[in-house]
Amino acid sequence: MEDKIYKKDAVVGIIGLGYVGVPLAIRFADEGFKVIGFDVNPSQVDVLNSGTSPFKHIADETISGIVAAGFEATGDYSRIKAVDAIIICVPTPLKSGREPDLSFIESTLAAMQPYLRAGQVLSLESTTWPGTTREIIQPFLQSAGFTIGEDFYLIFSPEREDPGNEEFTVRTIPKVVGGITERCLTVGKALYSAIVDKVVPVSSTDAAEMVKLLENIHRSVNIGLVNELKTVTDRMGLNIFEIVQAAATKPFGFTAYYPGPGVGGHCIPIDPFYLTWKAHQFGVHTRFIELAGEINSGMPKYVISKLVEGLNSQGKAIKGSKILALGIAYKSDVDDVRESPSVEVMELVRNWGGDIQYADPNVPVFPTMRMHDFDLTSTELTPESIQSFDAVILLTLHKGVDYEMISEHARLIIDTRGKFDAKRDKVVAA
């Protein structure tokens, strides 16, 4: 297997052509590998095969380039038998009770099962609880007749994709890899060494799974801390953004995290609860992690309380008021609304009887979501449109938005990002 990888004769199959799978496909294709992408969404398959990018942060030219080089997307899982390396990048959401939902992984395994063959390597990149690869995927492969480490290789390598980050790429971000056996690890290191500058081997798939959770729990806890401090400094009449920026000048012992309306994306709102669920099986209560989750998930309600405060100062209520959510992507300069706290704020405004609209240059039409349903298109940002709203809630910052114009023409601004002058009467820090 390693020889095939080194010679770039290995065919790479990537399952899940989303924010993780597509950049991986690009990277392997750029290195000269034949890549087949698999996705259950026919429209995603068609878009990619047409040479068009499904994401704002990836250029159409990049997709058309890898298609010209031989990349193809498909929904036909029988083609799994043609690939040497299988990389699973499917979603791992939470159920309503904050329990892990492995249904996408399980359905992927079931779809592949008839077409797996000896000599393949399977890498799971989807974030999950420590033990998933060993306890779920290994028995599945063994029941199919394979001997792990001898005629089939199984690894876990957590994705570290950061959509829109121009400083770090798939190639430059170190890749953590854990294998079920030493032989599996050797094959895994060979696979990822072909596309990244540095591979970081760890002792087991469990350890690799835990690495990903630690990374995101670290962020969740620190964001929870600064979100809580925001509510404290607000009562004290202090600007939390000024304080964090000043603290960040310390050249050691401090990492700046900034508050907002909550946390979004597939990682931070979800991944920590994979560990809390698993820890409960060992009789451990992860109070610190769960507290951070409670604080972060409670921030949209805090934003609504500041909206109530601002409207009340103008003799208005949310019910019947026209409200603009400014930025609904979960972070700056992307078109990804997964788990976005902005959408939760929109839901709360609607529940309170407000007329909620949104403006986001990266999300022209409100997308189909599992938990939310809005039949809306992005509002054009003009002086006239801004003046028509009773309040504008700044939720996500994007390049190219004329915030000065908004500041001039908005009647009321609820600012969750510290962008506007909080000393102005019509600006409410949130």
**Three-state DSSP class for 82?**
helix
Task: Give me the phi and psi of 87, to 5 degrees please.
Answer: -120, 120
What stretch of H or E contains 199? Answer: strand 199-201
DSSP-derived secondary structure for 372-427 = -----BPPP--HHHHHT-SEEEE----TT--HHHHHHH-S-EEESSS-S-TTSTTE
101-108 contacts, C-beta under 8 A, 24 or more apart: 102/128, 102/132, 102/136, 104/16, 105/132, 105/136, 105/137, 106/136, 108/15, 108/16
The dihedral through the CA atoms of 42, 45, 48, 50 has a sign that is negative
* Residue of 208, 267, 268, 410 marked active site: 267
- Pairwise CA distance, residues 31 & 177, whole Å: 20
With beta carbons less than 8 A apart as the criterion, state whether 153 and 184 touch: yes
Burial group, residue 150, by CB count within 10 angstroms (0-12, 13-18, 19+): exposed
- Pairwise CA distance, residues 101 & 291, whole Å: 22
Which stretches of 270-340 are DSSP H helices? Answer: 271-281, 287-297, 299-313
Task: Give me the phi and psi of 386, to 5 degrees please.
Answer: -65, -40
With beta carbons less than 8 A apart as the criterion, state whether 372 and 390 touch: no
- Pairwise CA distance, residues 34 & 219, whole Å: 36
- Pairwise CA distance, residues 338 & 396, whole Å: 13
Residues 94-127 as b or e (16 or more Cβ within 10 Å = b): beeeeebbbebbeebbebbeebbeeebbbbbbbb
The closest alpha carbon to 230, from 30, 418, 88, belongs to 418
DSSP lists the bridge partners of residue 155 as: 123, 179
- Pairwise CA distance, residues 228 & 206, whole Å: 32
- Pairwise CA distance, residues 430 & 414, whole Å: 6
Residue 267 annotated as catalytic: yes
Which residues participate in catalysis according to the annotation? Answer: 267
